Amino acid sequence: MRSRLTIADRLLTAVPLVSIYLWLSIVYCIEAWKRTTPWLFTDELEMTQISRAIASTGHAARRGEPYKFRSLYTYMIAPLWWIDDVAKAFSAVKYVDVLVMTSVIFPTYFLARPLSPARLGSLRGRGSSGVSPSLAYSSWIVEETLALPVCGALLLPDREGVRREEPRWGRRRGRCNRSSLPSCAVS
């Protein structure tokens, strides 16, 4: 029989994972702070125009023309453009992007847990996703900032099927599966 964990035990167990999230967020926020202007100019300009239109009118538009729905990301950052100073709004978007993209650590940890021995899986899941090269662009104004943690979260229901190596992992009950991975992205 398994012993029952108290709420305090569960919170104490989460401390290492939350600590890694906070430290990686600090590192990437410093990187974002050092980046003062858009670098991937065309994509960042497009996302900025669409999200600023959403913030001011409630409807997506690019250069004043109505624009079709493409991503939840533009809606996520739209309220940040209500900040009066454009430089401060740009900084707020960068920092929110860092916090959102670094949160990929949580679904990755829960995906890695059943696949590896206890200590090794714990370390892999906590650190590997947070130091991946894709997080280097966490402060860019691009859709992948939200897509990465959302895709990780969408794969969580399939972790048991992956662990058991079922031939059709994820195809039961309409879950996200390998053939639908590209559509899992928010973008």
DSSP secondary structure code for residue 84 in this structure: S
What CA–CA distances, in Å, run from 76 to 10, 35, 186?
30, 21, 11
pLDDT above 50: residue 169: no
pLDDT of residue 131: 58
pLDDT above 50: residue 173: no
Distance, in Å, from the CA atom of 116 to the CA atom of 163, rounded to the nearest integer, reads 9
Q: Are 113 and 156 in contact (CB under 8 A)?
A: no
3-state helix, strand, coil in the chain (%, to 5): 70, 0, 30
pLDDT above 80: residue 176: no
Q: Are 139 and 98 in contact (CB under 8 A)?
A: yes
What is the helix (H) or strand (E) element at residue 66, kind and residue range?
strand 65-66
DSSP lists the bridge partners of residue 66 as 61
Q: Which residue has the higher pLDDT, 108 or 187?
A: 108
Confidence of residue 177 (pLDDT cuts 50, 70, 90): very low
The string of pLDDT tens digits covering residues 39-74 is: 777 888 889 999 999 999 999 888 888 888 888 999
Q: Which two tokens stand for residue 95?
A: 């920092």
- Euclidean distance between the first and the last CA atom of the chain, given in angstroms as a whole number: 45
What average pLDDT does range 6-22 have in this prediction?
Answer: 86
Average pLDDT, the chain: 78
The string of pLDDT tens digits covering residues 92-146 is: 999 999 999 989 888 888 777 766 665 554 555 555 555 566 677 778 888 888 8
pTM, 2 dp: 0.76
Cα 45 from chain centre: 20
